[in-house]
């Protein structure tokens, strides 16, 4: 069997395994709850604030900002799911001895790791895109708002998931499955908070505090990708309508992502995957 076929086979097995885990049902349940609650919330928003027709810029602005808030909840659910899937997929098999039986065959460890990573990417990205699209359709049906760049926004949410599961795989090569999930989610939350702090610093003109957000987005690109997704979800005139008073608001993105930052995010994933491969190659099974 060629290396490419081996990678695809392991990816398919990983995808099948992920679909069988109880985490999938937890993700599906949480997503369903989020869709129902957001649908109810948008309906009440339309009824009580008279924005049902969404003909004014202000109505679109309210809908887009609430959509960003709901999508953050979705990204948090995806982060929890992918982090706790990535850890058991690798370190769980190491602890149970399954990896030892697989790697006893003439299969390179990097091939196994790449196959598992591809399977998790397919699972995590597919979940985020489908759940995000469902959320957009709920908002469209209830308040008739459709994001200006839905494809770009969902792609960036999927990229955020890829970053987090790659980090989870690296952590799972050095610590236990549970610990790798906890650390990955903790870093995800810490980076988001650092991004909010940086945004407040930028609004106040404090370059030192603003640099906190910039550095955190370089160290772990999840918050940077999330801000790009927010910009694609929100109304194009949001910044103009809200004005300077809302600079630093955590659910408002000031600018789209640059090509340089997207390139950095791709390089970051490649570097972290390389570290995971090196760590897995040296791990005592």
pLDDT digits (tens, 9 = 90+) for 117-140: 998 899 889 889 999 999 999 888
pLDDT tens column, 156-177: 999 999 999 899 889 888 888 7
Among all chains, which residue has been given the structure tokens 């469209």? 140
Question: For residue 242, is pLDDT > 70?
Answer: no
The token pair at 165 is: 């599961």
Distances (CA, A) of 181 to 81, 143, 173, 185: 9, 36, 12, 6
Q: Which of 2-6, 25-29, 261-265 has the highest mean pLDDT?
A: 261-265
Residue 128's CB is within 10 A of a number of other CB atoms, namely 29
Among all chains, which residue has been given the structure tokens 């960036």? 156
Q: Residue 195 and residue 250: Cα distance in Å, rounded?
A: 8
The pLDDT score that the predictor gives to residue 265 is 96
The token pair at 116 is: 């598992």
| CA 221, chain centre distance (Å) | 10
The pLDDT score that the predictor gives to residue 51 is 53
Burial 38-73, CB ≥16 within 10 A → b, else e: bbeebeebbeeeebeebeeeebbbbbbbbbbebbbb
Closest to 95 (Cα-Cα) out of 284, 279, 282: 284
The pLDDT score that the predictor gives to residue 18 is 74
pLDDT tens column, 176-232: 877 888 888 889 989 999 988 888 888 788 888 888 888 999 999 999 999 999 999
The pLDDT score that the predictor gives to residue 198 is 86
Residue 189's CB is within 10 A of a number of other CB atoms, namely 14
Total residue length of the chain? 285
Closest to 27 (Cα-Cα) out of 82, 89, 66: 82
Residue 161's CB is within 10 A of a number of other CB atoms, namely 27
Q: Residue 184 and residue 172: Cα distance in Å, rounded?
A: 10
Residues in Cβ contact with 86 at an 8 Å cutoff, skipping those fewer than 6 apart: 120, 164, 165, 166, 167, 168, 169, 172, 180, 181, 184
Q: Provide the whole-model pTM.
A: 0.86
> ∠282-283-285 over CA atoms, to 5°?
130
The pLDDT score that the predictor gives to residue 152 is 94
């Amino acid at each position: 069997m060629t290396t490419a076929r081996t990678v695809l086979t392991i990816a398919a097995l990983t995808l099948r395994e992920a679909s069988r885990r109880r985490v999938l049902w937890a993700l599906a349940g949480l997503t369903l709850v989020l869709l129902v609650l957001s649908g109810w919330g948008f309906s009440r928003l339309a009824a009580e604030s008279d924005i049902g027709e969404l003909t004014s810029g202000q109505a679109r602005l309210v809908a887009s900002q609430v959509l960003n808030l709901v999508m953050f909840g979705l990204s948090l659910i995806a982060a929890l799911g992918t982090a706790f899937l990535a850890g058991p997929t690798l370190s769980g098999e190491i602890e149970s001895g399954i990896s030892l039986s697989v790697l006893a065959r003439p299969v390179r460890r990097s091939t196994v790791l790449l196959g598992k990573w591809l399977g998790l990417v397919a699972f995590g990205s597919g979940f985020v895109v489908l759940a995000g699209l469902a959320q957009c359709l709920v908002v469209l049906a209830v308040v008739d708002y459709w994001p200006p760049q839905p494809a770009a926004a969902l792609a960036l949410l999927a990229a955020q998931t890829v970053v987090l599961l790659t980090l989870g795989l690296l952590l799972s090569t050095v610590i236990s499955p549970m610990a790798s999930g906890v650390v990955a989610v903790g870093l995800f939350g810490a980076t988001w908070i650092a991004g909010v702090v940086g945004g407040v610093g930028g609004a106040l003109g404090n370059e030192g505090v603003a640099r906190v957000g910039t550095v955190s987005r370089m160290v772990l690109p999840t918050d940077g990708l999330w801000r790009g997704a927010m910009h694609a979800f929100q109304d194009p005139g949001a910044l103009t309508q809200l004005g300077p008073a809302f600079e630093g608001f955590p659910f408002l993105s000031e600018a789209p992502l640059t090509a340089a930052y997207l390139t950095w995010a791709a390089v970051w994933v490649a570097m972290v995957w390389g570290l995971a491969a090196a760590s897995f190659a040296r791990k005592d099974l």
